[in-house]
Copies of this chain bind each other. A is one copy, B any other.
Amino acid sequence: MKFEAIAVENIPLIHAGDNLPSIICENIELQDRDIVIIASTVVAKAEGEIFRLEDITPGKISLEIAARTGRDARFIEAVLSRSGEVLVEKPFMLVTTLSGHTCVNAGIDESNIENGFLLYPPENPDASASRLGQELERLSGKKLSVIITDTNGRAFKIGQTGVAIGIYKIKPVKRWIGEKDLFGRDLEITEEAIADELAGAANLLMGEGAGGIPVVVIRGLDYYCDEETYIKEMYRPEELDIIKKGLRCLQKKS
């Protein structure tokens, strides 16, 4: 049993309106059950999710947060426009986005774009994954899954890993239910976060900075799922999220 992770080389710099599925298919021959893993930065660029800082007018709340944190109020306004809740203001803004993902700066990035521009993540990553996946399947004639990924930090540890933010034809979590353990006892329900593990695996080839590879294909696994799948199944229900409760407790104190 094995799998391969293959970097799709020669993807050009992507601009608004570019046909990503077409570009991908020109650079790799896809096979049934391939998992096509695409960095959210190129999805966002193709979707034209680029905004100029100077076009953003900060509202009252953004100005207040800016005063407290010393951050650019326009950048804060951008973050708030994609956020449901602010969990931490400083030293970094940790938010839960409108699509349910908890991450720094709502995933908005200014490091890979000409000065003064912000790159927002895809507004609906599942919808983007679905659109890309359907076109990839049409062009290649193969059964494919798609995962759109970002890189995020994590609790308790330094460093970032690749994470899944949108999916198509793959479950975010694999449930190992009702199997026996090595001694024949019922295994408790174990949920394996396969979409995030795949995102992390792909990120080992994606790299950072100028050498970035924005598309990786993982081949040899059997996770294809021919039904609608939703990344939000992976987000912990609020009432069970003890870490969010802890962060809110800290905010009340300060």
Also in contact, A2 and B13, with CB within 8 A (given A154-B154, A192-B159): no
A72 at the interface (CB under 8 A from B): no
Q: Which residues of B contact A185 (CB under 8 A)?
A: 111, 115
In the bound complex, do residue B2 and residue A6 qualify as a contact, i.e. CB atoms below 8 Å apart? yes
A250 at the interface (CB under 8 A from B): yes
- Work out how many copies of this chain go into the complex: 2
Q: Which of A15-23, A127-135, A137-145, A175-183 contacts B (4 or more CB under 8 A)?
A: A175-183
Residue of B nearest to A205 (CB): B1
Q: Which of A151, A159, A233 has the most CB of B within 10 A?
A: A159
Q: Which of A47-55, A56-64, A74-82, A206-214 contacts B (4 or more CB under 8 A)?
A: A206-214
A241 to B154, CA, bound (A): 11
A246 to B179, CA, bound (A): 36
| Cβ contact of A111, chosen from B13, B187, B248, cutoff 8 A | B187
A197 at the interface (CB under 8 A from B): yes
Q: Which residues of B contact A209 (CB under 8 A)?
A: 176, 179-182, 187, 190
- 8 A Cβ contacts from A1-51 to B: 1-7, 9, 13
**A211, chain B: closest CB distance, angstroms:** 8
A193 at the interface (CB under 8 A from B): yes
Q: Which residues of B contact A68 (CB under 8 A)?
A: none
A65 at the interface (CB under 8 A from B): no
A67 at the interface (CB under 8 A from B): no
In the bound complex, do residue A157 and residue B249 qualify as a contact, i.e. CB atoms below 8 Å apart? no
In the bound complex, do residue A181 and residue B111 qualify as a contact, i.e. CB atoms below 8 Å apart? yes
In the bound complex, do residue B3 and residue A182 qualify as a contact, i.e. CB atoms below 8 Å apart? no
A69 at the interface (CB under 8 A from B): no
A200 at the interface (CB under 8 A from B): yes
The 10 A-B residue pairs with the shortest CB-CB distance in the complex, in nearest-first order? A246-B246, A159-B193, A197-B200, A201-B201, A179-B209, A155-B155, A249-B249, A1-B7, A102-B156, A159-B173
Return 14 A-B CB contacts under 8 Å, by A number: A112-B183, A113-B183, A114-B183, A154-B193, A155-B243, A156-B236, A158-B173, A159-B192, A179-B210, A187-B208, A192-B208, A197-B203, A197-B204, A243-B243
